[in-house]
Amino acid sequence: MSAPPITHLSRSLILLLAMVSALGPVAMQILLPGVPIIKESFQVSTGVAQLTLSLSMAAIALATLAYGPLSDRYGRRPVLILGMSIAVVGSLLCIVAPTIELLIAGRFVQAAGGAVGMVVARAIVRDVYDARESASVIATLVMVMVVMPMLSPALGGELMVRYDWHAVFYLVAAISTVLVGMLWLQLPETLREPVPFSGVKDLVHTYHGLWQDRLFRGYSLCVAFVSVVFFAFISAAPEIMVSVLHRPATEYGYYFIIVPLGFMAGNYITRHYGRRLGIHRMIDYGSRLSILGITLALLLQALGFTHPAALFLPVALAILGNGITLPNAQAGALNAAPKMAGSASGLTGFMQMAFSAVAAQGVALIFNGTVYPMLVLMLGAAVVSLLSFRMLVAED
C-alpha cells in the first residue's frame, strides 16, 4: 500500500531543499578567488586554471538534462540523494588531486553531482503545490540559490588566505555529506506517478515534446533570458569597476551587496503577493521593472554619471524585477507539464545555464572599455524575456 500524497512541506524541509539547490552554484563560485592560486600551485596557464570554473558550468548544464527524467522515473528522493553523493565524491577527488587534470575532473564530477538540487528540488515543490503556491515556495529556493553563491567567493577567499585552496573542497565535501544525511533522514518521496524512461531515446523524445509545448517554451525562454540579465552583469561588473569606473577592486564587494538585496526584495514580493496577483501579472510586472532599471542605468551613464552608485542602484532595481519574474516563470514552466515536472525543471535549468554561459563569454568579447555593451546586452535579454512571455504564453 503506497503512502498518502504529501500535501505540505515544512519550513525546515523547504530550507533543506533550498540549501541543496544552492550547493551546485556555491561549489562552482566558491573557487573564484582561488584560480590564480591554483595557477601558481600547478604551474599552468590562466586558461588551463580557468577550466576549473568553465567546465563546472558545463557540467551543471549537462547534468540538469539527465536528473529531470531520472527523477520522473525513479523518484525524487533516490535521485536527489544520488546526486548529492556524487558531489561528495567529486569534492574528495579535488582534495587528493595531484595534477591539474585530475582537479579539473574532480570539479566536473562535483558540479555534476551538485546540479541535482537545482532540478529535483523544484520538481518536489511542484509535486506538492499548485502553480500559484509553488511560485511562492520556489521564490525561497531561488533566493537562497542566488544569494548564497554571491557570498561564497568571499568565504572561499578567506579560507584560502588562512589555509590553502584545499580548504574550499574540505568545506564543500563536509556540507555535501551533511546534506546527504539530512535528505536520507527527512526527505519523503513526493512523486505520485512514475513516468516511463528507458534511455537516451526517451530523454530526447521527452525534451522534444516539452519544447513543442507553446506554454513551456514561453515560460522557459523567459527564465533563460532573465538569467542572462543577471549573469551578464556579474561577469562584467568587476572589470568595469576597475577599468571603467577607476575604483579599487575592494569597493566592488561593497557595492555588489546592493544587487542581492534587490533580488531578495523581489523574492519577498513574490512570496507575499504572488498568490493574490497570479504568476502572469507577476512576470509582467517583474519584466517591466527589469527593463526600467537597465534603461535608467543607460540614461545615467549617457548623462555622464560615473559614480558606481549610478550603475549599481538601477541594476539592483532591474535585479529586483528578476527576483519577481524568475520564480513565477519557473513555476509556470513546471506547471505546463505537471506530470513531467522533473524533466521540465531539467530542461529549464539547462537553458538557464547554457544561455548564461554564452552571455558571460559574450559580454567579455564585446567589452570596449565602457559600460554600454554590458547594459545593451542586459536590456536586450530583458526585452526578449518579456516578449517570449507575451507572445507564447496565453493570458488568463
Q: Is the pLDDT of residue 279 over 90?
A: no
- Which residue did the predictor score with more confidence, 135 or 306? 306
Considering the domain architecture, whether residues 99 and 155 belong to the same structural domain is answered as yes
Considering the domain architecture, whether residues 64 and 209 belong to the same structural domain is answered as no
Average of per-residue pLDDT values in the chain: 83
pLDDT band at 285; cut points 50, 70, 90: very high
pLDDT (tens digit per residue) in 53-65: 777 877 888 888 8
Provide the CATH number for the domain around residue 377: 1.20.1250.20
pLDDT (tens digit per residue) in 71-81: 888 888 999 99
Domain housing 252: 198-396
Q: Is the pLDDT of residue 252 over 80?
A: no
Q: What's the pLDDT score for residue 161?
A: 76
Considering the domain architecture, whether residues 339 and 368 belong to the same structural domain is answered as yes
CA 83 vs CA 35, 238, 286: distances in Å? 25, 32, 33
Asked whether residue 331 is domain-assigned, the answer is yes
Considering the domain architecture, whether residues 274 and 393 belong to the same structural domain is answered as yes
pLDDT band at 386; cut points 50, 70, 90: very high
H helical segments located in the chain: 11-29, 35-42, 46-74, 76-96, 100-114, 116-128, 131-162, 166-186, 200-212, 214-243, 249-256, 258-277, 279-302, 309-335, 341-365, 372-392
Considering the domain architecture, whether residues 33 and 138 belong to the same structural domain is answered as yes
Angle CA(363)–CA(348)–CA(297) in degrees, nearest 5? 35
Q: Are 287 and 321 in contact (CB under 8 A)?
A: yes
Considering the domain architecture, whether residues 281 and 321 belong to the same structural domain is answered as yes
Q: Is the pLDDT of residue 22 over 70?
A: yes
pLDDT (tens digit per residue) in 321-336: 999 998 889 888 878 8
Q: Is 73 exposed, middle or buried (0-12, 13-18, 19+ CB in 10 A)?
A: middle
Boundary-marking domain end, from 151, 169, 197: 197
Q: 506554454: which residue's cell? A: 215
Asked whether residue 224 is domain-assigned, the answer is yes
pLDDT (tens digit per residue) in 28-39: 778 766 667 787
Boundary-marking domain end, from 150, 166, 197: 197
Considering the domain architecture, whether residues 124 and 254 belong to the same structural domain is answered as no
- Percent of the chain having pLDDT more than 70? 92
Q: What's the pLDDT score for residue 1?
A: 34
Considering the domain architecture, whether residues 310 and 323 belong to the same structural domain is answered as yes
Q: What's the pLDDT score for residue 395?
A: 57
Considering the domain architecture, whether residues 192 and 300 belong to the same structural domain is answered as no
Boundary-marking domain end, from 168, 197, 226: 197
Tell me the CA end-to-end span of the chain in Å, nearest whole number. 39
Nearest to 268 by CA among 151, 143, 150, 147: 143
Asked whether residue 1 is domain-assigned, the answer is no
Asked whether residue 2 is domain-assigned, the answer is no
Q: What's the pLDDT score for residue 56?
A: 82
Q: Which DSSP state fits 260?
A: H
C-alpha–C-alpha distance, residues 327 and 216, integer Å: 14
Q: 513574490: which residue's cell? A: 270
Q: What's the pLDDT score for residue 171?
A: 93
Q: What's the pLDDT score for residue 122?
A: 80
CA 17 vs CA 121, 160, 312: distances in Å? 6, 28, 30
